[in-house]
Amino acid sequence: MKRDHHSYRPMLAQAIRAPFSSKDWVFEIKWDGIRAISYVDEELSITSRNGMELKHNFPELHELKDLTRNAVVDGEIVVMKDQKADFQAVLERSRTTSLRDIEYLSHRSPATYVLFDILEKDGKALTDLPLAERKRILKDSVRDGEHVIISVFEEEEGESYYEAAIKRGIEGVVAKRKDSRYELGTKSSSWLKIKRDSHPATV
């Protein structure tokens, strides 16, 4: 029998100009992809920020059903090209309607779903727990697969992490307070994004 989950709107990050370091924060890659919240039970739903169902466009992500049970997880769907996230490629995949083209693109431009949060487990909402605790539950509740991975984060050293990310051609980083609750549908100051194009280059 299908379990009824709550419906969740994603928590969003505010933009700031410069990276920083702090023992109270964790730092993650800012992936250039499609934000998606997934509801995993006997059935699977992968939902975009605007409520669009994505599971049909990304059949390779159906493995999520084998990697966790009775969970609601949050993350970013990306398509990697030359070791970088290619936003146009993932956008093309999200807009493809032909079953034959979807199948072809799933092999030519396979997606990776990078999970960074868990909002519900076994029918219990986790949004009021601090981020650090949700990260532990996510790691305990979901296995890595071929196309689904748990986000790796850095603690404290935000500035060096940002510089390393930029050198690799990554768009930027997201800083998150370890004690932050998940604020549904809110652009929160507890999550901060620092993008390459918003940070003045140093000479």
Provide the annotated active-site residues. Answer: 30
How far is it, in rounded angstroms, from Cα 96 to Cα 94?
6
Which residues pair with residue 149 across a beta bridge? 114
First to last CA, the chain: 61
CA 172 to the chain's CA centroid: 14
Cα atoms in the Cβ-side hemisphere of radius 13 Å centred on 163 = 7
Collapsing DSSP states into helix, strand and coil, what is residue 46?
A: strand
Q: What residues contact residue 24 under an 8 Å CB cut-off, 6+ apart?
A: 177, 178, 179
Structure-token pair, residue 43: 């059935």
